[in-house]
A and B are shown apart, each in its own frame.
Chain A
Amino acid sequence: MSEVAANGMSAQDAHSLPDGRWSRVEFGFWLVPVAAFFLLPGHLVLGSQILIVALFALSLDLILGYAGIVSLGHAAFFGIGAYTAGLLSTHGWGEPLSGLLMAGAVAALVGWLSSFLIVRGSDLTRLMVTLGIGLLLYEAANKAAFITGGVDGLSGVSMWKLLGLFAFDLNGRVAYLYSLAVLFLLFVLLRRLVHSPFGLSLRGIREGALRMPAIGAPVRRHQVRIYTIAAAVAGIAGALLAQTTQFVGLDVLGFNRSAELLIMLVLGGAGMLYGAIVGAAAFMIAQDWLSGLNPVYWQFWIGLLLVLVVLFARGGIVGGLRALRERLQGKSR
């Protein structure tokens, strides 16, 4: 429904079914990363990081924003994807696209298996179980140093040419375009997904999981399905990071990554896809800019920001912009 508001329709139409039409604002939005490629050639490494994290945040938005499943361990799937892609490459298979697909498949498998533990239970149980699974995987990667490199990380990841044509360069031009293409493609698919009847019933489950069975929606099965999809997307994001940085550190599985991801999503606004991207970009740019001063201050300000967003600015940046826009339109009418 929120998409309708973005299309600039009046408030009465907000209760009609969502349609999948793209608005001009959205086209404009996707021109920004393209423009950044030409205008900011010196910042492409940061740029591809942002695009990757945005994809990761999108995957959390699917389960948290749309299905209402709280997770404190989403980095588990990011890490699985990163290690899958990294290990494939160190064992002699450096083809990027198939590595991406393999990483997504492995993450989806783990997500599917763990989803059965997660769909049962209350919010608190879910928090704890996702946290526990995340920590388990972190410990596993830490202890299995003979495979993963442990705390030293997995180095020696070398990628073949993308599509057999473009080698990954030091300036990050290929990495940036590669990340952007993957992000955009998956975004289009996911946008289609959340506007489908399936996406709509996910929102129904979020708002009232007890009532949805009454209209014939299989709650558990839907939750399992979206959790698996989200895990796959997170895995692909992790694989992108591994392939573009050619390194996998233990921190891809860390709790901080899961927590920061939640922060980005809430900052941008959950349950509207664009919020995830805007939040990730705002967070990463601010981090890049502020942590140059002192990383400790950065953590303090991000904590404060989080408290303020929760207390006063529900809906985050995108939600706030939307509310502002609706208010302006209401006045002009």
Chain B
Amino acid sequence: MVKSETSPARLMCFLPSFASLRLCGESHALLTNFAGILFDGVAYGSLLFLIGIGLSVTMGLMNFVNLAHGAFAMLGGYACVVVMSRLGVPFLASLPVAFVVTALAGVILERTLYQRLYKSSHLDQVLFSIGLTFMAIAAATYYFGPGQQPVALPEFLRGQVHLSGLDLGAYRLFLIALVVVITLALGWLVARTRFGAQVRAAVDNQQAAAGMGINVRRIFSLTFALGSGLAGLGGALGIDVLGLDPTFPIKYMVYFLLVVSVGGAGSIKGTLAAALILGVFDVAGKYYVPEVGAFVIYALMVVLLILFPAGLLGRRA
């Protein structure tokens, strides 16, 4: 895997934002360092949450192990790049496009292919989605070439914001704010709306839900579309943080899977908690012990999986 070569490097280039702060006293510097890492970790984690939440729903609701989820995020990223560079759409306006394109792709694939495999073994689902991922990688290489895609952020999202002695990346602040809004909206959708009640019913007990007259298949398609749409949005937002190249789906696959399996499939709170923990640990690990690198994350993953086989706040074993 190429992960270790690219992703830490990309992350590291944001770390100087706080690492090179004015140093007034050793302890203060340590503290600001720590706050900066926490901030970057939270920004990174909220991105992981945005992408991972769709996967969590697919696994919790449909019991489907979808390794191709990262491909949807990649699709969103490329949709964003294409409408920006070819059609001249500004960055903020390209985000809804990324969401809609990926959601559409999601619903089409769900209806034609995924649906057939809901009852299959996990092995079949894994193989099928690896197949899809390979196809997505090859297609992306064919159309966009193997290199990293650039993204031109608008002026007000570049540079730093000064907040109580800390220099915070403006884009990261924007990212966190956006994810907070989306999380609240999702929480409202699931807790307060009729659709949310139907989703919860279907997660808890599909057969009983169907017996109560809920159209479970429609719920499946809609949640799949929503989940892939959010992944696409995450992919578009993440170009500046995670990077975007054809190997994206495999490079970050383990992160998304980790968020879901640690957080517990089907749980929004669990996914959020896991994403934030993962984000902070990953950034901190790469900052404090760069020679160990991605080791921290993989070790954390194995340990957490052994200790919490059903996830931190999991609903299902």
Interface residues of A (CB under 8 A from B): 64, 70, 72, 117, 120-125, 127-129, 131-133, 135-136, 138-140, 142-143, 151, 254-256, 259, 262-263, 266, 296-300, 302-307, 309-311
Contact = CB atoms under 8 A, between A and B. Distances in A.
B231 interface: no
Contact of B123 (A123, A129, A296): A123
B130 A259 contact: yes
Contact of B134 (A64, A135, A302): A302
B1 A254 contact: yes
Given A125-B309, A128-B305, A135-B294, 11 more contacts: A64-B123, A70-B126, A121-B305, A123-B65, A129-B302, A131-B254, A131-B257, A136-B299, A136-B302, A302-B131, A304-B131
A124 B261 contact: yes
B132 interface: yes
A307 B132 contact: yes
16 contacts: A72-B126, A125-B261, A129-B306, A132-B305, A133-B302, A139-B294, A139-B298, A300-B135, A300-B138, A302-B131, A303-B134, A303-B136, A306-B128, A307-B128, A307-B132, A309-B127
A142 B294 CA distance: 11
Contact of B301 (A128, A143, A259): A128
A291 to B, nearest CB: 12
A152 to B, nearest CB: 13
A156 B232 CA distance: 46
Nearest to A270: B123
B308 to A, nearest CB: 10
Nearest to A311: B116
A123 B136 CA distance: 25
Contacts of A135: 1, 254, 294, 298
Nearest to A131: B254
A124 B306 contact: no
A19 B253 CA distance: 43
B141 interface: yes
A163 B305 CA distance: 46
A263 B291 CA distance: 34
Contacts of A120: 306, 309
Contact of A127 (B65, B117, B141, B298): B65
A136 B298 contact: yes
A299 B309 contact: no
B141 A296 contact: yes
B113 interface: yes
A80 to B, nearest CB: 16
B261 A306 contact: no
Given A131-B257, A304-B135, A139 B305 contact: no
A125 B124 CA distance: 16
Contacts of A302: 131, 134
B128 A124 contact: no
Contacts of A256: 1, 250
Q: Which 6 pairs across A and B sit closest by C-beta, in order of nearness?
A: A303-B134, A306-B131, A300-B138, A303-B135, A307-B131, A123-B122
B4 A307 contact: no
A70 B299 CA distance: 20
B311 to A, nearest CB: 10
A136 B120 CA distance: 30
Contact of B1 (A138, A143, A304, A310): A138
B127 A306 contact: yes
Pick the most buried of A132, A139, A140: most chain B CB atoms within 10 A of its CB: A132
Nearest to A304: B135
Contacts of A124: 59, 65, 122, 261, 265
Interface in B80-128: 113, 116-117, 120-124, 126-128
